Amino acid sequence: MSLNINDLFSVKGKIAIVTGGSRGIGEMIASGYLSNGAKVYVTARKEEALINKAKELSEKFNTDCIPFCVDLSDIVGIKTFLDFVTKAEPNGIDFLINNAGAAWGADLDSYPEDGWDKVVDLNLKSPFFITQQMSPLLEMKATSDNPSRVINIASIDGIRVSNMAETYAYSASKSGIIHLTKHLAKTLVDRNIIVNAIAPGPFDSHMLGKAVNFDYSFISKMNPRKRIGSPEDIAGLCLYLSSRAGAYTVGETITCDGGMVATT
């Protein structure tokens, strides 16, 4: 047993996958792992931006951030990514962060089927099938004392109804990922793979930024902490869930929102 903080929260030498890791919350999470000595694979659909971001992060943290451009909204893309990771890491991986996501806002009477399908496929279907396909790689590294981890990025909009926009598919998919986390946790804990979720509130991201013209001032005023989330907030929580410190936390969804759900 060691209660030294360097042992308790260490992810040094671990191998992580962060989907949607080229910007926003995904970039923050990837940076948290990289800055603490983990190797990180990041995915996104925009190749040039992804490659540039991976190069930037590799140089910044002096460790390997490896890009792979892929559309993970269907099983073809997921298996293409699986093949790449299997060849690159034949001995397995330690962490899978299902972060890639999309949103679509429209009023009830005009909400389109293609918008619904795009959001639900990426936000809910993909995390299930990525976890399914990556489980053998996670199991290779997993032991009872040192389990592998899956962290699903949900949203507080999967817990409460947002008053900012009519994002029916987004809220439904994020609510679904919260329950899916519990179901996967029940199954995979016997394989020494721990599954949890994080439900972020407002963070500086392309998705939220576009909705508010990247002016977060009024959102900050509404937040009990009087600010939006920072990289330290979301990366710190991921590091806890990925480390020895979080090895007894199973099937939970932890809000990271400045108190918006609990106190408002």
pLDDT over 60 (residue 201): yes
> Would you state the pLDDT for residue 211?
59
pLDDT tens profile 71-99: 999 999 999 999 999 999 999 999 999 99
* More confidently predicted of 247 and 214: 247
pLDDT at 218: 82
Q: What would the mean pLDDT of 53-63 be, rounded to a whole number?
A: 97
Q: What pLDDT is attached to residue 208?
A: 63
118 pLDDT more than 60: yes
Catalytic residues: 170
Average pLDDT over every residue of 209-227: 80
pLDDT 10s digits, 154-187:
999 999 998 778 999 999 999 999 999 999 999 9
- Give the mean model confidence (pLDDT) for residues 132-151: 97
Secondary structure, 3-state, the chain? CCCCHHHHCCCCCCEEEECCCCCHHHHHHHHHHHCCCCEEEEEECCHHHHHHHHHHHHHHHCCCEEEEECCCCCHHHHHHHHHHHHHHCCCCCCEEEECCCCCCCCCHHHCCHHHHHHHHHHHHHHHHHHHHHHHHHHHHHCCCCCCEEEEEECCHHHCCCCCCCCCHHHHHHHHHHHHHHHHHHHHHHHHCEEEEEEEECCECCHHHHHHCCCCCHHHHHHCCCCCCECHHHHHHHHHHHHCHHHCCCCCCEEEECCCHHHHC
Determine the Cα–Cα distance for residues 195 and 223; give it in Å rounded to an integer: 28
pLDDT of residue 219: 87
Overall pTM surpassing 0.75 (yes/no): yes
User: Taking all residues of the chain, what is their mean pLDDT, rounded to a whole number?
Assistant: 95
Q: For residue 40, what pLDDT band results from cuts at 50, 70 and 90?
A: very high
pLDDT of residue 215: 76
Please, what are the domains in the chain? 5-263 (3.40.50.720)
Q: Is residue 206 predicted with pLDDT exceeding 80?
A: no
pLDDT of residue 205: 75
Report the distance separating Cα 238 and Cα 67, nearest Å: 20
